[in-house]
Amino acid sequence: MNEKARRETIDHALARLHEIAREHAKSAPWQAKIKAAHEARNDPDWEKRTRLTVEALKAVRDAGALDRVEAQILIAGSIVALAEHRATGEPVPQMQALLRRMREIEADSGLSENDFWSEESAVPDEWLKLSRDYEEIWDGILAATFNQFGEANLGVSYLANTGRGDDPYGPARRRRTGE
């Protein structure tokens, strides 16, 4: 997910919060949280922006003003956007080294950017190992971010479903990693 996609994820959650705010009394106790999240939408501090958005989502969820499933989707999306910012906004050196080597192997195999091997058997073993190592670091960052927001169970569920049919990036990841 690039910077634009991460911003759109948070903006989507904020738009939904705005709808909920309009549908309910201005005196609802969580209105202040929605206002704070909305005011931080352009803040360059991703940590603050995400924290305020997730706090508002949790408040409206806990008050019953937002369906639990929809809340989980919006909360998970916001947390994943922050985790990806942490992994790419300030790149993790070990991840960057793995990614560089993976790109070298892809280039050596004649692949151009965004190309995949046509057959799983053609994926080099070294690339598969590097990819697993990369995903392990990513999973650690993601789990820590879910834990930070008190959403460890949601994080476990998200990680359990990564790479399966309900993950929009799953088919591409499976082609690249041989999962």
- The pLDDT tens digits for 2-28 are 788 888 999 999 999 999 988 887 778
Q: Which amino acid is at 110?
A: G
Within 13 Å, how many C-alpha atoms sit on residue 123's CB side?
20
Q: Which amino acid is at 88?
A: T
pLDDT tens, 87-138? 887 778 889 899 999 999 999 988 888 788 877 668 899 999 999 999 889 8
State the CB neighbour count (10 A cutoff) for residue 147: 13
The proportion of the chain whose per-residue pLDDT surpasses 70, expressed as a percent, equals 88
